[in-house]
Structure 1
Amino acid sequence: MRLQEPLQRSLRSEIEKIQKQYGYTLSKLSALSGINHGHLSDILRGNRAMTIRQLDALATAFEQPPGWLYELYPDECFAKERVSRPRVIPYLIRCAEIGRQDCIQPIVSKLLDEQKNVDILFSVGERLFEAGKSKESIPFYQLVIENEKDSHSERFSLSQYRLFRATLGANAEDNWKAVIRFEPYRNRLPENYQLDGLLQLANVSFVLQRWSDMEKYADELRLLASKVYEHEWRKRKNAKTCEPLKTERHLVVYYGQGFLLKGAALQMQGLYGEAKKYVQGYADLDWFELLDNTGRMEVEKFKTWAKANMYTYDLLMGDTQVLPE
Protein backbone atom coordinates (compact mmCIF):
# COMPACT_ATOMS: atom_id res chain seq x y z
CA MET A 1 0.00 0.00 0.00
CA ARG A 2 1.48 3.35 -1.06
CA LEU A 3 1.91 5.96 1.68
CA GLN A 4 0.36 9.36 1.15
CA GLU A 5 2.38 12.51 0.62
CA PRO A 6 4.38 13.55 3.73
CA LEU A 7 2.55 16.87 4.13
CA GLN A 8 -0.86 15.17 4.10
CA ARG A 9 -2.23 13.60 7.29
CA SER A 10 -2.49 9.86 7.02
CA LEU A 11 -3.20 7.07 9.45
CA ARG A 12 0.39 5.86 9.49
CA SER A 13 2.01 9.30 9.61
CA GLU A 14 -0.09 10.19 12.66
CA ILE A 15 0.78 6.92 14.40
CA GLU A 16 4.45 7.41 13.59
CA LYS A 17 4.31 10.96 14.97
CA ILE A 18 2.79 9.95 18.30
CA GLN A 19 5.08 6.92 18.54
CA LYS A 20 8.06 9.30 18.42
CA GLN A 21 6.44 11.58 21.02
CA TYR A 22 6.08 8.66 23.43
CA GLY A 23 9.48 7.27 22.54
CA TYR A 24 8.11 3.77 22.03
CA THR A 25 10.16 1.19 20.16
CA LEU A 26 8.33 -1.22 17.91
CA SER A 27 8.77 -3.95 20.52
CA LYS A 28 7.37 -1.72 23.27
CA LEU A 29 4.38 -0.72 21.14
CA SER A 30 3.76 -4.35 20.23
CA ALA A 31 3.75 -5.33 23.90
CA LEU A 32 1.41 -2.48 24.91
CA SER A 33 -1.05 -2.99 22.07
CA GLY A 34 -0.98 -6.78 21.94
CA ILE A 35 -0.36 -6.67 18.18
CA ASN A 36 2.11 -9.22 16.85
CA HIS A 37 5.54 -7.59 16.31
CA GLY A 38 5.82 -8.70 12.69
CA HIS A 39 2.25 -7.70 11.88
CA LEU A 40 2.73 -4.32 13.50
CA SER A 41 5.90 -3.72 11.48
CA ASP A 42 4.08 -4.60 8.24
CA ILE A 43 1.14 -2.35 9.20
CA LEU A 44 3.28 0.68 9.94
CA ARG A 45 5.31 0.21 6.76
CA GLY A 46 2.13 0.06 4.72
CA ASN A 47 2.54 -3.58 3.70
CA ARG A 48 -0.51 -4.79 5.62
CA ALA A 49 -3.94 -3.24 6.11
CA MET A 50 -4.96 -2.38 9.65
CA THR A 51 -8.13 -3.67 11.33
CA ILE A 52 -10.25 -1.33 13.41
CA ARG A 53 -9.48 -3.47 16.47
CA GLN A 54 -5.79 -2.90 15.92
CA LEU A 55 -6.35 0.85 15.64
CA ASP A 56 -8.34 0.74 18.89
CA ALA A 57 -5.50 -1.21 20.52
CA LEU A 58 -3.00 1.44 19.42
CA ALA A 59 -5.30 4.17 20.77
CA THR A 60 -5.26 2.44 24.15
CA ALA A 61 -1.48 2.10 24.04
CA PHE A 62 -1.14 5.83 23.35
CA GLU A 63 -3.81 6.74 25.94
CA GLN A 64 -6.07 8.23 23.28
CA PRO A 65 -9.92 8.36 23.43
CA PRO A 66 -12.21 5.88 21.59
CA GLY A 67 -12.48 6.79 17.92
CA TRP A 68 -8.92 8.10 17.67
CA LEU A 69 -7.95 8.63 14.01
CA TYR A 70 -11.20 7.06 12.80
CA GLU A 71 -11.55 9.82 10.21
CA LEU A 72 -8.34 8.56 8.58
CA TYR A 73 -9.32 4.89 8.58
CA PRO A 74 -11.52 4.68 5.42
CA ASP A 75 -8.48 4.12 3.17
CA GLU A 76 -8.03 0.76 4.92
CA CYS A 77 -11.52 -0.25 3.77
CA PHE A 78 -10.87 0.21 0.05
CA ALA A 79 -8.08 -1.23 -2.07
CA LYS A 80 -7.98 -0.10 -5.70
CA GLU A 81 -11.59 1.06 -5.26
CA ARG A 82 -12.66 -2.42 -4.13
CA VAL A 83 -14.31 -2.59 -0.74
CA SER A 84 -13.03 -4.94 1.98
CA ARG A 85 -16.01 -6.39 3.86
CA PRO A 86 -13.86 -7.74 6.74
CA ARG A 87 -12.66 -4.20 7.46
CA VAL A 88 -15.55 -1.94 6.50
CA ILE A 89 -18.25 -3.81 8.48
CA PRO A 90 -16.41 -3.73 11.86
CA TYR A 91 -15.47 -0.10 11.17
CA LEU A 92 -19.07 0.98 10.57
CA ILE A 93 -20.19 -0.96 13.65
CA ARG A 94 -17.61 0.76 15.85
CA CYS A 95 -18.49 4.19 14.41
CA ALA A 96 -22.17 3.55 15.21
CA GLU A 97 -21.34 2.33 18.72
CA ILE A 98 -19.36 5.44 19.65
CA GLY A 99 -21.45 7.94 17.69
CA ARG A 100 -18.97 8.85 14.94
CA GLN A 101 -21.66 9.75 12.40
CA ASP A 102 -19.15 12.03 10.64
CA CYS A 103 -17.18 8.93 9.66
CA ILE A 104 -20.18 6.85 8.61
CA GLN A 105 -21.62 9.16 5.94
CA PRO A 106 -18.57 9.27 3.60
CA ILE A 107 -18.26 5.47 3.70
CA VAL A 108 -21.98 5.00 3.01
CA SER A 109 -21.86 7.39 0.05
CA LYS A 110 -18.98 5.44 -1.46
CA LEU A 111 -20.60 2.07 -0.81
CA LEU A 112 -23.86 3.09 -2.46
CA ASP A 113 -22.06 3.70 -5.75
CA GLU A 114 -22.65 -0.04 -6.26
CA GLN A 115 -26.02 -1.69 -5.59
CA LYS A 116 -24.44 -4.91 -4.30
CA ASN A 117 -23.01 -3.03 -1.32
CA VAL A 118 -26.50 -2.63 0.16
CA ASP A 119 -25.82 -6.06 1.64
CA ILE A 120 -22.91 -4.60 3.64
CA LEU A 121 -25.23 -2.03 5.22
CA PHE A 122 -27.72 -4.79 6.02
CA SER A 123 -24.98 -6.87 7.66
CA VAL A 124 -23.96 -3.90 9.82
CA GLY A 125 -27.57 -3.40 10.90
CA GLU A 126 -27.98 -7.10 11.72
CA ARG A 127 -24.83 -7.28 13.82
CA LEU A 128 -25.78 -4.16 15.76
CA PHE A 129 -29.35 -5.40 16.31
CA GLU A 130 -28.22 -8.85 17.44
CA ALA A 131 -25.75 -7.24 19.86
CA GLY A 132 -28.64 -5.40 21.54
CA LYS A 133 -27.83 -2.05 19.90
CA SER A 134 -31.18 -1.64 18.17
CA LYS A 135 -31.19 2.17 18.15
CA GLU A 136 -27.75 2.24 16.50
CA SER A 137 -29.00 -0.21 13.85
CA ILE A 138 -31.89 2.02 12.71
CA PRO A 139 -29.99 4.20 10.17
CA PHE A 140 -28.58 1.12 8.44
CA TYR A 141 -31.97 -0.54 8.02
CA GLN A 142 -33.36 2.74 6.73
CA LEU A 143 -30.58 2.85 4.15
CA VAL A 144 -31.37 -0.70 3.04
CA ILE A 145 -35.07 0.14 2.66
CA GLU A 146 -34.27 3.30 0.69
CA ASN A 147 -31.76 1.62 -1.63
CA GLU A 148 -33.02 -1.96 -2.04
CA LYS A 149 -34.51 -2.26 -5.53
CA ASP A 150 -36.51 -5.43 -4.87
CA SER A 151 -39.19 -4.66 -2.27
CA HIS A 152 -40.11 -8.37 -2.19
CA SER A 153 -36.63 -9.50 -1.23
CA GLU A 154 -36.06 -11.12 2.16
CA ARG A 155 -33.46 -8.47 2.97
CA PHE A 156 -35.98 -5.68 2.41
CA SER A 157 -38.70 -7.38 4.49
CA LEU A 158 -36.30 -8.19 7.32
CA SER A 159 -35.15 -4.57 7.37
CA GLN A 160 -38.78 -3.46 7.72
CA TYR A 161 -39.24 -5.93 10.59
CA ARG A 162 -36.04 -4.89 12.38
CA LEU A 163 -36.92 -1.21 11.95
CA PHE A 164 -40.36 -1.89 13.44
CA ARG A 165 -38.83 -3.62 16.47
CA ALA A 166 -36.12 -1.01 16.92
CA THR A 167 -38.46 1.99 16.80
CA LEU A 168 -41.03 0.75 19.32
CA GLY A 169 -40.93 2.82 22.49
CA ALA A 170 -43.03 4.70 25.02
CA ASN A 171 -44.63 7.14 22.58
CA ALA A 172 -48.03 5.82 21.43
CA GLU A 173 -48.17 7.93 18.26
CA ASP A 174 -44.70 6.80 17.18
CA ASN A 175 -45.63 3.19 17.87
CA TRP A 176 -48.72 3.45 15.69
CA LYS A 177 -46.62 4.93 12.89
CA ALA A 178 -44.26 1.96 13.27
CA VAL A 179 -47.22 -0.43 12.95
CA ILE A 180 -48.49 1.29 9.80
CA ARG A 181 -45.02 1.21 8.25
CA PHE A 182 -44.40 -2.47 8.99
CA GLU A 183 -47.85 -4.04 8.53
CA PRO A 184 -47.78 -4.39 4.71
CA TYR A 185 -44.62 -6.49 4.92
CA ARG A 186 -45.56 -8.83 7.79
CA ASN A 187 -46.53 -11.73 5.51
CA ARG A 188 -43.41 -11.45 3.34
CA LEU A 189 -41.12 -12.46 6.19
CA PRO A 190 -39.76 -15.97 6.78
CA GLU A 191 -42.15 -17.80 9.12
CA ASN A 192 -39.93 -17.56 12.21
CA TYR A 193 -39.92 -13.77 11.94
CA GLN A 194 -43.60 -13.67 10.95
CA LEU A 195 -44.51 -15.28 14.25
CA ASP A 196 -42.75 -12.66 16.30
CA GLY A 197 -43.89 -9.83 14.04
CA LEU A 198 -47.54 -10.78 14.52
CA LEU A 199 -47.07 -11.15 18.29
CA GLN A 200 -45.52 -7.68 18.47
CA LEU A 201 -48.26 -6.17 16.29
CA ALA A 202 -50.96 -7.66 18.52
CA ASN A 203 -49.25 -6.43 21.69
CA VAL A 204 -48.81 -2.90 20.34
CA SER A 205 -52.48 -2.89 19.26
CA PHE A 206 -53.46 -3.87 22.82
CA VAL A 207 -51.51 -0.94 24.29
CA LEU A 208 -53.05 1.40 21.70
CA GLN A 209 -56.54 -0.04 22.43
CA ARG A 210 -57.12 -0.93 18.79
CA TRP A 211 -59.19 -4.03 19.46
CA SER A 212 -60.18 -4.96 15.90
CA ASP A 213 -56.53 -4.76 14.80
CA MET A 214 -55.53 -6.83 17.80
CA GLU A 215 -58.10 -9.48 16.85
CA LYS A 216 -56.82 -9.57 13.28
CA TYR A 217 -53.20 -10.10 14.30
CA ALA A 218 -54.18 -12.67 16.95
CA ASP A 219 -56.14 -14.64 14.33
CA GLU A 220 -53.19 -14.56 11.94
CA LEU A 221 -50.81 -15.58 14.73
CA ARG A 222 -52.99 -18.51 15.74
CA LEU A 223 -53.27 -19.82 12.19
CA LEU A 224 -49.56 -19.41 11.45
CA ALA A 225 -48.46 -20.99 14.75
CA SER A 226 -50.71 -24.00 14.06
CA LYS A 227 -49.29 -24.38 10.56
CA VAL A 228 -45.68 -24.10 11.80
CA TYR A 229 -46.38 -26.58 14.61
CA GLU A 230 -47.75 -29.18 12.20
CA HIS A 231 -44.74 -28.76 9.91
CA GLU A 232 -42.22 -28.93 12.76
CA TRP A 233 -43.94 -31.95 14.29
CA ARG A 234 -43.90 -33.87 11.00
CA LYS A 235 -40.29 -32.87 10.38
CA ARG A 236 -39.25 -34.08 13.82
CA LYS A 237 -41.25 -37.32 13.45
CA ASN A 238 -39.75 -38.24 10.08
CA ALA A 239 -36.14 -37.37 10.83
CA LYS A 240 -34.03 -38.50 13.77
CA THR A 241 -31.95 -35.33 13.64
CA CYS A 242 -33.18 -32.04 12.25
CA GLU A 243 -32.69 -28.38 12.94
CA PRO A 244 -35.73 -26.87 14.69
CA LEU A 245 -37.11 -23.59 13.43
CA LYS A 246 -35.25 -20.78 15.18
CA THR A 247 -37.69 -18.42 16.87
CA GLU A 248 -37.22 -15.67 19.43
CA ARG A 249 -39.65 -17.34 21.83
CA HIS A 250 -40.63 -21.00 22.22
CA LEU A 251 -43.14 -22.05 19.56
CA VAL A 252 -45.76 -22.82 22.23
CA VAL A 253 -45.71 -19.14 23.24
CA TYR A 254 -46.88 -18.02 19.80
CA TYR A 255 -49.54 -20.72 19.72
CA GLY A 256 -50.91 -19.90 23.18
CA GLN A 257 -50.69 -16.15 22.71
CA GLY A 258 -52.82 -16.39 19.56
CA PHE A 259 -55.70 -17.62 21.74
CA LEU A 260 -54.95 -15.43 24.76
CA LEU A 261 -54.72 -12.19 22.77
CA LYS A 262 -57.88 -12.99 20.82
CA GLY A 263 -59.74 -13.46 24.12
CA ALA A 264 -58.30 -10.25 25.54
CA ALA A 265 -59.44 -8.27 22.48
CA LEU A 266 -62.95 -9.69 22.76
CA GLN A 267 -63.04 -8.96 26.50
CA MET A 268 -62.14 -5.31 25.92
CA GLN A 269 -65.12 -5.08 23.55
CA GLY A 270 -67.45 -6.52 26.19
CA LEU A 271 -67.81 -9.87 24.40
CA TYR A 272 -67.14 -11.96 27.50
CA GLY A 273 -68.95 -15.10 26.33
CA GLU A 274 -66.94 -15.12 23.10
CA ALA A 275 -63.73 -14.48 25.01
CA LYS A 276 -64.34 -17.52 27.25
CA LYS A 277 -64.32 -19.82 24.20
CA TYR A 278 -60.68 -18.96 23.48
CA VAL A 279 -59.46 -19.75 27.01
CA GLN A 280 -59.65 -23.46 26.19
CA GLY A 281 -57.05 -22.89 23.50
CA TYR A 282 -54.31 -22.19 26.05
CA ALA A 283 -55.67 -23.67 29.31
CA ASP A 284 -53.91 -27.01 28.82
CA LEU A 285 -51.06 -27.22 26.33
CA ASP A 286 -49.44 -30.37 27.73
CA TRP A 287 -50.29 -32.11 24.44
CA PHE A 288 -47.80 -29.87 22.62
CA GLU A 289 -45.23 -32.34 21.22
CA LEU A 290 -42.22 -30.07 20.89
CA LEU A 291 -41.76 -29.07 24.53
CA ASP A 292 -38.41 -28.71 26.28
CA ASN A 293 -37.90 -27.33 29.79
CA THR A 294 -38.52 -23.77 28.60
CA GLY A 295 -41.65 -24.84 26.76
CA ARG A 296 -43.02 -26.68 29.81
CA MET A 297 -42.52 -23.57 31.93
CA GLU A 298 -44.46 -21.55 29.36
CA VAL A 299 -47.28 -24.12 29.41
CA GLU A 300 -47.57 -23.70 33.20
CA LYS A 301 -47.82 -19.92 32.78
CA PHE A 302 -50.66 -20.36 30.31
CA LYS A 303 -52.49 -22.63 32.77
CA THR A 304 -52.32 -19.91 35.43
CA TRP A 305 -53.46 -17.19 33.03
CA ALA A 306 -56.32 -19.35 31.78
CA LYS A 307 -57.63 -19.92 35.31
CA ALA A 308 -57.38 -16.22 36.19
CA ASN A 309 -59.00 -15.11 32.95
CA MET A 310 -61.86 -17.57 33.28
CA TYR A 311 -62.65 -16.17 36.73
CA THR A 312 -62.45 -12.66 35.26
CA TYR A 313 -64.90 -13.44 32.46
CA ASP A 314 -67.33 -15.15 34.88
CA LEU A 315 -67.28 -12.13 37.18
CA LEU A 316 -67.72 -9.72 34.30
CA MET A 317 -70.76 -11.75 33.24
CA GLY A 318 -72.22 -11.37 36.75
CA ASP A 319 -71.37 -14.80 38.19
CA THR A 320 -70.35 -13.86 41.73
CA GLN A 321 -70.39 -17.48 42.88
CA VAL A 322 -66.76 -17.80 41.75
CA LEU A 323 -65.61 -15.14 44.26
CA PRO A 324 -64.84 -17.55 47.14
CA GLU A 325 -62.83 -19.77 44.82
Structure 2
Amino acid sequence: MNKHSLLSIQDLSIHDIMEILHDARVFNISQQDWHLPMHNALVANLFFEPSTRTHYSFESAEYQLGCSVADFNSASSSVTKGESLYDTVKTFEAIGYKVLVIRHPQDEYFKELEDIAIPILNAGDGKGNHPTQCLLDLYTMYDEFGTFEGLNVLICGDIAHSRVAASNKDALERLGANVRFAGPKEWEREGYPTIDMDEGVRWADVVMMLRIQKERGASLAGISDEDYLHTYGLDHRRYAMMKENAIIMHPAPVNRGVEIADDLVECEKSRIFKQMENGVLVRKAVIKRAFGYSAFKED
Protein backbone atom coordinates (compact mmCIF):
# COMPACT_ATOMS: atom_id res chain seq x y z
CA MET A 1 0.00 0.00 0.00
CA ASN A 2 1.27 3.47 -0.86
CA LYS A 3 2.64 5.36 2.18
CA HIS A 4 0.51 8.39 1.27
CA SER A 5 -2.75 6.44 1.42
CA LEU A 6 -5.22 7.38 4.16
CA LEU A 7 -7.33 4.40 5.21
CA SER A 8 -7.95 4.99 8.91
CA ILE A 9 -7.40 7.87 11.31
CA GLN A 10 -5.10 5.42 13.12
CA ASP A 11 -2.74 5.67 10.14
CA LEU A 12 -1.95 9.21 11.26
CA SER A 13 0.23 10.23 14.19
CA ILE A 14 -0.72 13.28 16.22
CA HIS A 15 1.97 15.14 14.27
CA ASP A 16 0.40 14.03 10.96
CA ILE A 17 -3.05 15.16 12.10
CA MET A 18 -1.83 18.57 13.14
CA GLU A 19 0.04 19.00 9.82
CA ILE A 20 -3.18 18.28 7.90
CA LEU A 21 -5.14 20.74 10.07
CA HIS A 22 -2.41 23.32 9.51
CA ASP A 23 -2.54 22.83 5.73
CA ALA A 24 -6.34 23.14 5.80
CA ARG A 25 -5.97 26.44 7.64
CA VAL A 26 -3.47 27.69 5.05
CA PHE A 27 -5.88 26.78 2.26
CA ASN A 28 -8.56 28.73 4.13
CA ILE A 29 -6.62 31.96 4.65
CA SER A 30 -4.39 32.04 1.57
CA GLN A 31 -5.41 33.67 -1.70
CA GLN A 32 -2.65 31.97 -3.69
CA ASP A 33 -3.38 29.77 -6.69
CA TRP A 34 -2.82 26.19 -5.55
CA HIS A 35 -3.43 24.56 -8.94
CA LEU A 36 0.21 24.03 -9.93
CA PRO A 37 1.35 21.03 -7.82
CA MET A 38 -1.38 18.64 -9.02
CA HIS A 39 -2.34 20.38 -12.28
CA ASN A 40 -4.15 17.94 -14.63
CA ALA A 41 -3.27 14.91 -12.48
CA LEU A 42 -5.86 12.15 -12.87
CA VAL A 43 -7.97 11.48 -9.76
CA ALA A 44 -10.94 9.10 -9.64
CA ASN A 45 -13.80 9.00 -7.14
CA LEU A 46 -15.12 5.45 -6.71
CA PHE A 47 -18.28 5.59 -4.61
CA PHE A 48 -20.05 2.26 -4.14
CA GLU A 49 -22.46 3.85 -1.63
CA PRO A 50 -24.61 6.97 -1.94
CA SER A 51 -22.95 10.19 -0.77
CA THR A 52 -23.50 13.92 -1.09
CA ARG A 53 -21.13 15.80 1.23
CA THR A 54 -18.13 13.47 1.10
CA HIS A 55 -18.37 12.81 -2.63
CA TYR A 56 -18.85 16.36 -3.79
CA SER A 57 -16.53 18.00 -1.28
CA PHE A 58 -13.78 15.66 -2.50
CA GLU A 59 -14.69 16.64 -6.06
CA SER A 60 -14.68 20.34 -5.18
CA ALA A 61 -11.27 19.97 -3.53
CA GLU A 62 -9.90 18.09 -6.54
CA TYR A 63 -11.08 20.68 -9.04
CA GLN A 64 -9.82 23.55 -6.87
CA LEU A 65 -6.39 21.88 -6.87
CA GLY A 66 -6.44 21.65 -10.66
CA CYS A 67 -6.85 17.87 -10.90
CA SER A 68 -8.58 16.10 -13.77
CA VAL A 69 -11.46 14.27 -12.10
CA ALA A 70 -13.40 11.13 -13.04
CA ASP A 71 -16.54 10.01 -11.23
CA PHE A 72 -16.98 6.23 -11.28
CA ASN A 73 -20.51 4.86 -11.62
CA SER A 74 -20.62 1.27 -10.40
CA ALA A 75 -24.07 0.70 -11.93
CA SER A 76 -22.70 1.27 -15.44
CA SER A 77 -19.35 -0.45 -14.87
CA SER A 78 -18.03 -4.00 -15.12
CA VAL A 79 -18.90 -4.44 -11.45
CA THR A 80 -22.35 -5.42 -12.75
CA LYS A 81 -20.64 -8.26 -14.66
CA GLY A 82 -18.96 -9.59 -11.53
CA GLU A 83 -15.66 -7.72 -11.61
CA SER A 84 -13.94 -7.66 -8.20
CA LEU A 85 -13.10 -4.50 -6.30
CA TYR A 86 -9.40 -5.30 -6.71
CA ASP A 87 -9.65 -5.61 -10.49
CA THR A 88 -11.67 -2.40 -10.74
CA VAL A 89 -9.09 -0.49 -8.71
CA LYS A 90 -6.17 -2.16 -10.53
CA THR A 91 -7.70 -0.98 -13.81
CA PHE A 92 -7.66 2.65 -12.70
CA GLU A 93 -4.05 2.25 -11.63
CA ALA A 94 -3.11 0.65 -14.96
CA ILE A 95 -4.67 3.39 -17.10
CA GLY A 96 -2.87 6.22 -15.38
CA TYR A 97 -4.86 7.49 -12.40
CA LYS A 98 -2.64 8.88 -9.65
CA VAL A 99 -4.99 8.96 -6.62
CA LEU A 100 -8.23 7.07 -5.90
CA VAL A 101 -10.95 8.12 -3.45
CA ILE A 102 -13.06 5.10 -2.48
CA ARG A 103 -16.23 4.59 -0.44
CA HIS A 104 -17.46 1.03 -0.05
CA PRO A 105 -20.05 -0.72 2.16
CA GLN A 106 -17.61 -3.49 3.15
CA ASP A 107 -15.74 -2.98 6.42
CA GLU A 108 -12.01 -2.49 5.72
CA TYR A 109 -12.41 -3.12 1.99
CA PHE A 110 -8.90 -1.74 1.60
CA LYS A 111 -7.37 -4.94 2.97
CA GLU A 112 -8.06 -6.42 -0.48
CA LEU A 113 -6.02 -3.64 -2.09
CA GLU A 114 -2.66 -4.02 -0.38
CA ASP A 115 -0.91 -4.60 -3.74
CA ILE A 116 -2.20 -1.34 -5.23
CA ALA A 117 0.72 1.08 -5.58
CA ILE A 118 -1.10 4.41 -5.96
CA PRO A 119 -2.54 6.29 -2.96
CA ILE A 120 -6.06 5.39 -1.80
CA LEU A 121 -8.09 7.83 0.25
CA ASN A 122 -10.82 6.09 2.25
CA ALA A 123 -14.10 7.98 1.97
CA GLY A 124 -15.83 5.53 4.31
CA ASP A 125 -15.88 1.75 4.78
CA GLY A 126 -18.96 0.08 6.21
CA LYS A 127 -19.15 0.66 9.97
CA GLY A 128 -15.39 0.96 10.21
CA ASN A 129 -13.56 4.16 9.29
CA HIS A 130 -14.18 7.64 7.93
CA PRO A 131 -10.86 9.43 8.36
CA THR A 132 -11.58 12.60 6.37
CA GLN A 133 -14.87 13.17 8.20
CA CYS A 134 -12.93 12.84 11.44
CA LEU A 135 -10.32 15.33 10.22
CA LEU A 136 -12.92 17.92 9.24
CA ASP A 137 -14.59 17.44 12.63
CA LEU A 138 -11.22 17.98 14.30
CA TYR A 139 -10.56 21.07 12.20
CA THR A 140 -13.97 22.51 13.15
CA MET A 141 -13.30 21.96 16.86
CA TYR A 142 -9.75 23.30 16.67
CA ASP A 143 -10.89 26.37 14.76
CA GLU A 144 -13.48 27.01 17.47
CA PHE A 145 -11.49 26.29 20.64
CA GLY A 146 -7.81 26.42 19.62
CA THR A 147 -7.00 23.22 21.52
CA PHE A 148 -8.11 19.65 22.08
CA GLU A 149 -6.59 19.27 25.53
CA GLY A 150 -9.38 18.91 28.09
CA LEU A 151 -12.14 19.48 25.53
CA ASN A 152 -15.37 17.65 26.45
CA VAL A 153 -16.99 15.99 23.43
CA LEU A 154 -20.36 14.23 23.61
CA ILE A 155 -21.29 11.97 20.67
CA CYS A 156 -24.97 11.03 20.67
CA GLY A 157 -27.23 8.57 18.93
CA ASP A 158 -26.53 5.49 16.82
CA ILE A 159 -23.06 4.69 18.14
CA ALA A 160 -23.09 0.99 17.21
CA HIS A 161 -23.31 1.58 13.45
CA SER A 162 -21.27 4.77 13.20
CA ARG A 163 -17.84 4.93 11.56
CA VAL A 164 -17.80 8.62 12.53
CA ALA A 165 -18.01 7.74 16.24
CA ALA A 166 -15.19 5.22 15.91
CA SER A 167 -12.82 7.53 14.05
CA ASN A 168 -13.49 10.52 16.31
CA LYS A 169 -13.05 8.52 19.51
CA ASP A 170 -9.59 7.37 18.49
CA ALA A 171 -8.32 10.76 17.34
CA LEU A 172 -9.86 12.92 20.07
CA GLU A 173 -8.59 10.73 22.90
CA ARG A 174 -5.07 10.74 21.47
CA LEU A 175 -5.26 14.54 21.18
CA GLY A 176 -6.22 14.94 24.85
CA ALA A 177 -9.99 15.42 24.65
CA ASN A 178 -12.55 13.75 26.89
CA VAL A 179 -15.09 11.75 24.86
CA ARG A 180 -18.41 10.38 26.10
CA PHE A 181 -21.34 8.74 24.34
CA ALA A 182 -25.10 8.88 24.83
CA GLY A 183 -28.02 7.15 23.16
CA PRO A 184 -30.21 4.07 23.24
CA LYS A 185 -28.76 1.13 25.18
CA GLU A 186 -29.35 -1.03 22.12
CA TRP A 187 -26.70 0.97 20.28
CA GLU A 188 -24.01 1.14 22.94
CA ARG A 189 -20.57 -0.10 21.96
CA GLU A 190 -18.06 -1.93 24.14
CA GLY A 191 -15.25 0.36 25.23
CA TYR A 192 -17.22 3.53 24.52
CA PRO A 193 -17.90 5.27 27.87
CA THR A 194 -21.52 6.36 28.20
CA ILE A 195 -23.19 9.20 30.06
CA ASP A 196 -26.81 10.19 30.66
CA MET A 197 -27.95 12.46 27.82
CA ASP A 198 -29.02 15.39 30.00
CA GLU A 199 -25.87 15.20 32.10
CA GLY A 200 -23.77 14.92 28.96
CA VAL A 201 -25.29 17.99 27.33
CA ARG A 202 -24.49 20.08 30.43
CA TRP A 203 -20.91 18.70 30.49
CA ALA A 204 -20.02 19.01 26.82
CA ASP A 205 -18.17 21.70 24.91
CA VAL A 206 -19.12 19.89 21.70
CA VAL A 207 -22.42 18.05 21.22
CA MET A 208 -22.18 15.86 18.12
CA MET A 209 -25.42 14.28 16.98
CA LEU A 210 -25.61 11.18 14.76
CA ARG A 211 -28.44 9.97 12.56
CA ILE A 212 -30.04 6.53 12.81
CA GLN A 213 -28.28 4.42 10.17
CA LYS A 214 -31.24 2.40 8.96
CA GLU A 215 -29.31 1.20 5.91
CA ARG A 216 -27.01 -0.70 8.32
CA GLY A 217 -29.89 -2.32 10.16
CA ALA A 218 -30.42 0.22 12.94
CA SER A 219 -33.97 0.40 14.22
CA LEU A 220 -35.92 0.92 17.42
CA ALA A 221 -39.27 -0.83 17.44
CA GLY A 222 -42.33 1.19 18.41
CA ILE A 223 -40.72 4.62 18.81
CA SER A 224 -41.85 7.58 16.72
CA ASP A 225 -39.56 10.31 15.39
CA GLU A 226 -40.99 12.72 17.96
CA ASP A 227 -40.41 10.29 20.82
CA TYR A 228 -36.85 9.65 19.65
CA LEU A 229 -36.10 13.38 19.57
CA HIS A 230 -37.36 13.95 23.11
CA THR A 231 -35.76 10.78 24.53
CA TYR A 232 -32.40 10.64 22.76
CA GLY A 233 -32.10 13.74 20.57
CA LEU A 234 -31.22 17.41 20.88
CA ASP A 235 -34.49 19.24 21.44
CA HIS A 236 -35.04 22.75 22.79
CA ARG A 237 -35.09 21.58 26.40
CA ARG A 238 -31.60 20.13 26.07
CA TYR A 239 -30.39 23.05 23.96
CA ALA A 240 -31.16 25.31 26.91
CA MET A 241 -28.88 23.13 29.10
CA MET A 242 -25.81 23.62 26.91
CA LYS A 243 -22.83 25.71 28.00
CA GLU A 244 -22.76 29.26 26.71
CA ASN A 245 -19.83 28.61 24.36
CA ALA A 246 -20.68 25.02 23.45
CA ILE A 247 -21.27 24.09 19.82
CA ILE A 248 -23.45 21.59 17.95
CA MET A 249 -22.00 19.32 15.26
CA HIS A 250 -23.38 16.61 12.99
CA PRO A 251 -21.65 14.66 10.18
CA ALA A 252 -24.87 14.78 8.13
CA PRO A 253 -27.10 13.93 6.41
CA VAL A 254 -29.36 15.33 9.10
CA ASN A 255 -32.79 13.88 9.80
CA ARG A 256 -34.45 17.04 11.03
CA GLY A 257 -36.91 16.46 13.83
CA VAL A 258 -35.42 13.05 14.67
CA GLU A 259 -31.94 13.39 16.23
CA ILE A 260 -32.12 17.20 16.30
CA ALA A 261 -34.95 19.72 16.28
CA ASP A 262 -35.45 21.24 12.84
CA ASP A 263 -34.68 24.85 13.77
CA LEU A 264 -31.56 23.91 15.76
CA VAL A 265 -29.76 22.70 12.61
CA GLU A 266 -28.93 26.33 11.73
CA CYS A 267 -29.08 27.94 15.17
CA GLU A 268 -26.37 30.16 16.68
CA LYS A 269 -24.51 27.26 18.29
CA SER A 270 -24.66 25.03 15.23
CA ARG A 271 -21.54 24.41 13.15
CA ILE A 272 -23.15 21.79 10.91
CA PHE A 273 -22.84 23.70 7.64
CA LYS A 274 -19.47 25.05 8.74
CA GLN A 275 -18.31 21.43 8.96
CA MET A 276 -19.26 20.96 5.31
CA GLU A 277 -17.31 24.06 4.33
CA ASN A 278 -14.33 22.80 6.33
CA GLY A 279 -14.58 19.44 4.61
CA VAL A 280 -13.33 20.92 1.34
CA LEU A 281 -10.32 22.50 3.08
CA VAL A 282 -9.37 19.28 4.85
CA ARG A 283 -9.78 17.17 1.73
CA LYS A 284 -7.57 19.57 -0.21
CA ALA A 285 -4.93 19.03 2.47
CA VAL A 286 -5.35 15.24 2.32
CA ILE A 287 -5.14 15.17 -1.49
CA LYS A 288 -2.03 17.36 -1.38
CA ARG A 289 -0.50 14.86 1.07
CA ALA A 290 -1.49 11.94 -1.20
CA PHE A 291 0.60 13.45 -3.99
CA GLY A 292 3.60 13.47 -1.66
CA TYR A 293 3.84 17.18 -0.99
CA SER A 294 5.06 18.10 2.49
CA ALA A 295 3.14 20.35 4.83
CA PHE A 296 3.17 24.09 4.26
CA LYS A 297 5.75 25.91 6.33
CA GLU A 298 4.51 27.49 9.54
CA ASP A 299 3.54 31.15 9.33
Q: TM-score range by the shorter chain?
A: under 0.3
- Quick one: higher RCO (CA 8 Å, sep 6+), 1 or 2? 2
Q: Which has the larger radius of gyration?
A: 1
After TM superposition, the score normalised by the length of structure 2 is: 0.25
Structure number with higher helix proportion: 1
After TM superposition, the score normalised by the length of structure 1 is: 0.24
Structure number with higher strand proportion: 2
